[in-house]
Structure formats: structure tokens, C-alpha cells
Amino acid sequence: MAAVTSHFLGIDPKMYRHFAMLTIGLTTVFALFADGETRETMAQNSQRAELKRADESKFGKTKLVDKRGDKPRSNASGGFNGTFGAPMDGGGSVSGNSSYIPPALALKSPPIIIEVDQAALAKMSPEQRKAYLKRLEDERQRRMREGPVVPTPQQVSALAAASAARAGSDSID
């Protein structure tokens, strides 16, 4: 038969006291560590203040200068000159053409990189290797002279159809 206990929820009151003492002890230890960091930070701040006072006595008080008015202002709002709530489509610039890109921000054409097939290169004789590398260099020079290639709409649609076929789709999105 079960013994009747007078403890609340079956927990001995000594356990509550032990838990309370443990909590107070841990809190005290944490407070000591936190207080040590605070003292360390205060010491660093006082050192910085002393260095600043020494610099001020040696070089004089630091003067703040506003040079924002010296240069012409650029439109930092990303091309939007209107007021809040105004329509944002259309001309963001004076001429009405918001698609203007300054020459300094225009992208340069990417370098022409032609990769060498290392497996095929390993199987070639020295003469074949020399001829192969010369052909690749000639192709790279030709592409650099021609500039970037812009695909025609027919080429784009053919590429999209081939991509849709590889993906298993019946239509092009």
C-alpha cells in the first residue's frame, strides 16, 4: 500500500531550499563575471579618453568640416526625382529616358575564354598539340575582333524550344 505523504506534489521541501540556494549561487557567480567585464570596459574607455585629451592638448581640438557642398550632388535616390506617391514609371532623368547608364557604370565585354580539352591534349603528339593550341588561339582572336554575339530572335526561340524539350515540357513559357 502507498504511504501518504505530506509534501506538495511529492517533493521534499529540502529540495526547494537546495534549488533556491543553487540558483542564488549561480546568479552571484554570473554577476561577478559580468561585473568584471564592466570594469574592464570602463578601464578601456578611460584610457581612450586620456589619449583623446592628450591628442587635443598636442594638436588642438578636432574640427569637423562639411564638404558635401563642394561636389555636384548625384541622384542618390536611384533615378527617382518625384514626390512620394508619384508614379515611378517613365522618365527618371531630365530627358525622360530612365534607361541611361553612365559610361563609368557600363559593363565591359567579358574576356573570351576557350577551354582546352586536357584529355584530348594528353593523347596528342607535340606537333598535333601545337597545331591544336594555335587553332584555339586563332579562334579566341577571331571572337575578340567580332565582339559580343547577340543571338537573333530565331536562335533564342530555338534554344528555348530545345530547353523545354530537355525539361520534358510541351510548351515554351
| 44 inside domain | yes
| 123 inside domain | yes
Eight-class DSSP state of 105: T
d(C-alpha 168, C-alpha 116), whole Å: 32
The per-residue pLDDT for range 93-102, each reduced to its tens digit, is: 555 555 666 6
The parent domain of residue 130 ranges over 116-146
Question: pLDDT class for 87, splitting at 50, 70, 90?
Answer: low
Grid cell listed for 72: 555636384
| Cβ contacts of 100 within 8 Å, gap of 6 or more | 93
The per-residue pLDDT for range 28-81, each reduced to its tens digit, is: 988 888 777 777 888 889 999 998 888 888 888 877 777 777 665 555 555 555
d(C-alpha 53, C-alpha 60), whole Å: 9
d(C-alpha 80, C-alpha 98), whole Å: 9
Q: Is the pLDDT at 110 greater than 90, yes or no? A: no
| 35 inside domain | yes
| 1 inside domain | no
Give Cα 63 to chain centroid, integer Å. 35
Grid cell listed for 41: 570596459
Averaged over 76-89, what is the pLDDT? 56
Q: Are 82 and 88 in contact (CB under 8 A)?
A: yes
State which of 39, 57, 75 marks the end of a domain.
57
Eight-class DSSP state of 111: P
| 47 inside domain | yes
Structural domain count of the chain: 2
